[in-house]
Amino acid sequence: MTGTPPPAPAESGRPRERLDGPAKVAGRAPYAYEQPVEDPLFLFPVRSTIARGRVRWVDTEEAEAVPGVVAVLTHLNAPRLASRDDLELWVLQDDEVRHHGQFVGAVIAGTPEVARHAASLVKVEYQREWHDVVLRADHPERYRPDHVNPSFDTDTSHGDVDGALADAAATVDQTYRTPVQHHVPMEPHTTVVRWPGAADLGAVAMYDSNQGVSPIRKVLAPLLDLDPEQLWIHSPHVGGAFGSKASPKAHHVLTALAARLVPGRPVKCALTRQQMFGNAGHRTPTIQRVRLGADRRGRLTAIAHDVVEHTARFKEFAEQTAVATRTMYAAEHRRTTHRLVPLDVPAPVIMRAPGEAPGMFALESAMDELAVALGMDPVELRIRNEPDADPESGLPFSTRHLARCLREGATRFGWADRPPAGQGRRDGDWLVGVGMAASTYPLFPQQGSRARIRALPDGRRQVEIAASDLGTGTWTALTQIAADALAVPAEAVDLVIGDSALPATVGAGGSSGLSIWGTTVVAAARAFRDRHGDDPPAGAEVVGELPENTAVGRYALHAFGAQFAEVRVDAVTGEIRVPRMVGVFDVGRVINPRTARSQLMGGMTMGLSMALHEESVVDPRFGHVVNGDYAGYHIPTNADVGDIDVSWLDEPDPLYNPMGSKGIGEIGIVGTAAAVANAVWHATGVRVRDVPITPDRLLGRHR
C-alpha cells in the first residue's frame, strides 16, 4: 500500500445531505417489495400453533379450492434443500416443529387477499410434545457453550474474586434482568424471488431487505443447490434492520422454495408485523449476577459478571453479554461466565449491540449502586477505575478517551448542579432525578471485502461494492470516503451498492460496515491512482482488496462514551418521562456529522426504549409472543422522546482504519438504559434491576 499520500480530506467531516434523501422523503426509493416485477404471485405462510412436536397431517384441499390459489406448499411437496446444517433454514423438509410460529406451509396466489385467506383454510394436526420456553437461572439443562458470539472465550477468571469481595470495603451483589426484545424494523422482512423460467438461462433473482447481499448469498446459494453466480440478490434500500436482517431467515427459504414451483413468476413475501415476532429473530433474555468490590477510595478490587441466557434448542446463539465487562474497569480480581439454557423458542440473533446493550445495563447499574455504597460521585468512581491497558488482554488501547467523555458529558449536562445522591428533587407531583452510565463497543474484525473502481467516459469514477444502507447513511458517507481517497469531488463519484453482482464484501453489523467498506474503497482507490494516475482513461479499472488490519492483536480497539439522563416520575401515577439526555462519544473521526448524529441519537432513543418500553411477553403455555405487534410491543413515540444532545470528541484513531473512524452504529444504545435506571433511582429511591421500568414498579414504593 505505497504511493501518493492521500490529500487532506475535503469530504470526510462534512455534514453532507443524504444522497438518497430526496427519493426517501418522496417515497420513491424502492424497498424490496417495491421493486418493479412482472406478473407477481403472493405468498402467505402457514405457521405452527405449537412450540414442539410433529405435524401429523395437513389438509390443503379447501385452500387449494379457493379461486386464485396457485399452489399450497407443505413439507410433503416442497422442493428439497441441499444442506441440513442450519435447522432454522431447514424449511418444510420434515414434519418436526421446533418453535411456535415455525413455517409449516405456505399458499401462493394471484392476490395477497386470496393467499392470506387460503392460508387460513389449511388444516394442520399436530402431535404435541412437551415444551419449555421459560428461562430460569437454575434450569437443569443449562450448559456452558464453547464460545460466545462471535468467538470470545465463554468464561474468564483472574485472581481470587471471592477473597477480594470478602476483604472489600464496599460491595455490590445484585441480579439484573433484561427481557426478550425484538428489533421491529419499520420495514418488515420482505423478499421477492423469481426462479428462471424454462426458456431463460438467467440467475435466480431475489429482491430482498437485508444487511448484506454477500453474506446472505453465501448461505442461501449452496442451500438452494446453486452456484453463487446463479443467485442474484438486490437490496439497495433497507427499511431498518438492527441485526434482524444480518443472516438468512426461514422466509427467504420458504419464498425460494415456492418460487421454484412456479418458474418465471416472481413470488412476493412480506412478513406481517405479527409474524415478525416469531420469524425474524429476537434478543435473548438475560439473567445477570454482578458482584463488585472496592476499597474505601473507590478502587475496584473485584468484578464478577455471571450471565444466564437462552438459546434455541435447534440452533445455538450465545450472546456475549459479559464481554464488555472484561475491558471496562481495572480490578485485580475478575471473572465472567456465560451459560445457556436451550429452549423451544425461535432462534435468537444479534440485536443492536449484542452483548454490550444488556451487559452494560447490568454493569453500569451495579457501578451506580457501588457509588451509592461508597458515597461517591458515580462519574468520579468510573474515572478512578480507568485502566492503563486492557485489563483482559494486557494490550494497550489504541485510543481510550472515556474519562474525557465523562467529563465533557458532565459539563454539557450540568451534572455538578444535581441534588445530592438519593435525594432527587420535587417539582409539584414530579420526582426529578439524574443518572449516568458509561458506554463501550469494540472493533469487530472482519475479513474478505473487495471493491472495484472504474473511470467513466465523462471523467467520473464509479465505485462498486456490495455494501448496504440500512438507514446508516452508507450511500452518502461511503461516497465521501471514496471522493477523498480518489481526490475528486463527491459529485464525481458514482457509488453502487446493494447488489450481489458487485464485488463481495461484509454485511453491515458490529458497527464495522463503513469501517470495512471504507478501508476497502481506500485500498482500491490507492491502487487505482497508482496504476492509472489522476487523469485515467475511460474504462480504466482496478479491483482492490481489504488489507489486513495489523493493529488487531497488538492493540485493544474500542469506542467509548458517556450517557446522562434526566427523568421525571409522576408521584401519583408512576409515569416516567425522560425530558433530556446527553451523550458524548469517543468514536474516532466522524465521516458525516449529519448522518452520524442521527445514528447516535437513534441508538440513544433505542436505549431509552429498552429502559422504559420494550418487552416481549412469551406465553409459557404455547410459546408465542403475546404482545406481538406495535400496539403491544412498545417502542417510543414522538411524545416519549425529549431533547437529545449528541456530541463526540474529535479524536481520529488511525489504528482502526485509514479514515480514523471507530464505528457508530451501536454505541449509542450501550449504557443508555442504565443511565435512565440510575436516574429513576435518584428521583424515587427505587432501584429497578430489570427493564423495562414500567410505572407499576414505582407506585407505592417511591420516597
Partner 1 sequence: MEAEIRLRVDGTTHTLRVDTRTSLLDALRDRLGNTSPKKGCDHGQCGSCTVLLDGRRITSCLALAVSHDGAEVTTADGLAPGDTLHPVQRAFLDQDAFQCGYCTPGQVCSVVGMLAEATDGRPSHVTGELTGPVQLTDEEIRERLSGNLCRCGAYVNIVAAVRQTLAEEAP
Three-class secondary structure assignment of 202-218: CCEEEEECCCCHHHHHH
Among partner 1, ligand FES, none, partner that 29 touches (CB below 5 to 8 angstroms by kind):
partner 1
Residue tagged 462519544 (cell numbers): 585
Give 185 or 215: the residue with its C-beta nearer to partner 1. 185
Q: Nearest approach, Cβ of 240 to partner 1 (angstroms)?
A: 4
Identity of the residue, 614 or 690, whose beta carbon is nearer to ligand FES in the bound complex: 614
What gap in Å lies between CA 170 and CA 162, rounded to an integer? 13
- Taking the complex as a whole, the smallest distance from the CB of residue 631 to ligand FES amounts, in Å, to 10
Look at residues 518, 526, 551 and name the one whose alpha carbon lies nearest to residue 449: 518
Q: Are 492 and 483 in contact (CB under 8 A)?
A: yes
Binding mask 141-180 for ligand FES (x = CB under 6 A): ----------------------------------------
As measured in angstroms, the least distance from the Cβ of 605 to ligand FES is 10
Residue 192 binding: pick among partner 1, ligand FES, none (C-beta 5-8 Å cut-off by kind): none
- What is the smallest separation between the CB atom of 576 and partner 1, expressed in angstroms? 16
Could you give the CA distance from residue 8 to residue 110 in angstroms, rounded to a whole number? 57
Residue 541 burial (C-beta neighbours within 10 Å; 0-12, 13-18, 19+)? middle
Distance spanning both ends of the chain, measured CA to CA: 63
Chosen from ligand FES, partner 1, none, partner binding at 605 (C-beta under 5 to 8 Å by type) = partner 1
Least distance (Å) from ligand FES to the CB of residue 22? 15
Region for residue 184 given its phi and psi (left: phi exceeds 0; alpha: psi -120 to 50; beta: otherwise): left
Give dist(CA 631, CA 29) in Å, integer.
Answer: 27
* Residue 617 in the binding site for ligand FES (CB under 6 A): no
Q: How far is the CB of 581 from ligand FES (least distance, A)?
A: 19
Is it true that the peptide bond before 636 is cis, omega within 30 degrees of 0? Answer: no
Beta strands, E only, 251-285? 267-270
The rounded distance, in Å, linking the Cα atoms of 293 and 299 is 8
Residues 622-681 that bind ligand FES (CB under 6 A): none
Q: How far is CA 93 from CA 79, 83, 85, 88, in A?
A: 8, 10, 12, 11
Q: Distance (Å, rounded) from C-alpha 188 to C-alpha 240?
A: 9
**Cβ closer to ligand FES: 240 or 263?**
240
- Residue 197 cell numbers, joined: 423460467
The C-alpha atoms of residue 564 and residue 484 are separated, in whole angstroms, by 35
Pick between residue 240 and residue 448 the one whose CB is nearest to ligand FES: 240
The partner in contact with residue 528, picked from partner 1, ligand FES, none with C-beta cut-offs of 5 to 8 angstroms by kind, is none
Contact 579, 642 (CB under 8 A): yes
User: Rounded to an integer, what distance in angstroms lies between the CA atom of residue 587 and that of residue 595?
Assistant: 14
471 lines the binding site for ligand FES (CB under 6 A): yes
The least distance separating ligand FES from the CB of residue 186, rounded to whole angstroms, comes to: 4
Cα separation of 624 and 464, whole Å?
42
**Which does residue 201 touch among partner 1, ligand FES, none (CB within 5 to 8 A, set by kind)?**
none
Please identify, using beta-carbon distances, which residue of 150 and 240 lies nearer to ligand FES. Answer: 240
Kindly state whether residue 25 participates in binding ligand FES, applying the rule CB under 6 A. no
Binding site for partner 1 (CB under 8 A): 17-18, 20-22, 24-31, 33-34, 36, 111-114, 117, 184-188, 237-240, 242, 270, 272-273, 470-473, 594-595, 597-599, 601-606, 609, 629-631, 635-641, 643-644
- Which C-beta is closer to partner 1: that of 378 or that of 665? 665
Closer to ligand FES by Cβ: residue 31 or 648: 31
What are the angstrom distances between the C-alpha of 600 and each of 184, 245, 589?
A: 18, 20, 14
Question: Which 430-459 positions form the footprint of ligand FES (CB under 6 A)?
Answer: none
Per-residue binding string, ligand FES, 360-389, x by CB under 6 A, is ------------------------------
Residue 487 binds ligand FES (CB under 6 A): no
**Least distance in angstroms from the C-beta of 26 to partner 1:** 4
Residues in the interface with ligand FES (CB under 6 A) total 3
Are the C-beta atoms of residues 288 and 644 closer than 8 Å to each other? no
C-alpha cell of 654?
Answer: 488511525
**Nearer of residues 451 and 606 to partner 1, judged by Cβ:** 606
> Taking CB within 5 to 8 Å according to partner kind, which of partner 1, ligand FES, none is near residue 589?
none
**Interatomic CA distance for residues 703 and 701, integer angstroms:** 7
Kindly state whether residue 278 participates in binding ligand FES, applying the rule CB under 6 A: no
* The C-alpha cell that represents 521 in the structure block: 474503497
- Give residue 625's identity as a one-letter amino acid code: V
Provide the minimum distance between the beta carbon of 24 and partner 1 in the complex, in angstroms, as a whole number: 3
* Sign of the Cα pseudo-torsion (537, 540, 546, 548, in order): negative
Q: Which is nearer to partner 1, 391 or 663 (CB)?
A: 663
User: Looking at the annotation, which residues are catalytic?
Assistant: 666
Q: Residue 184 or residue 557: which is nearer to partner 1 going by CB?
A: 184
**Cell 435447522 maps to which residue?**
87
Which residue, 653 or 666, is less far from ligand FES as judged by CB?
Answer: 666
Contacted by 113, from ligand FES, partner 1, none: CB < 5 to 8 Å by type: partner 1
| Cis-peptide, bond into residue 5, ω within 30° of zero | no
- CB 670: neighbour CB atoms within 10 A? 32
Query: Which residue spans within 179-230 are E strands per DSSP?
Result: 190-194, 204-208
Could you tell me where the beta strands, DSSP code E, fall in 506-575? 541-545, 558-570
C-alpha torsion 372→568→177→633, nearest 10: -170
Residues 595/477, Cβ–Cβ less than 8 Å: yes
List the single partner that 272 binds among ligand FES, partner 1, none, CB under 5 to 8 Å by kind: partner 1
Q: How far is CA 684 from the centre of its chain?
A: 32
> Residue 89: left if φ>0, alpha if ψ -120 to 50, beta else—which one?
alpha
Residue 105 to residue 64: CA distance in whole angstroms = 13
CB of 242 to ligand FES, least distance (A): 10
For residue 288, the partner it binds in ligand FES, partner 1, none, with Cβ less than 5 to 8 A by kind, is none
Q: Which of 1, 65, 186, 617 binds ligand FES (CB under 6 A)?
A: 186
Q: Least distance in Å: CB of 401 to partner 1?
A: 25
Give min distance, CB of 391 to partner 1, in A: 32
Residue nearest to ligand FES (CB): 186
Should residue 342 be labelled a site residue for ligand FES when binding is judged by CB under 6 A?
no
Distance CA 166, CA 161 (A): 9
Q: 165: which 3 cell numbers? A: 469481595
Whether the Cβ atoms of residue 102 and residue 74 lie closer than 8 Å to each other: no
Q: Measured from the CB atom, is 77 or 272 closer to partner 1? A: 272
For residue 353, the SS3 value is: coil
Residue 22 contact partner, candidates partner 1, ligand FES, none, CB within 5 to 8 A by sort of partner: partner 1
| Residues within the interface to ligand FES (CB under 6 A) | 186, 240, 471
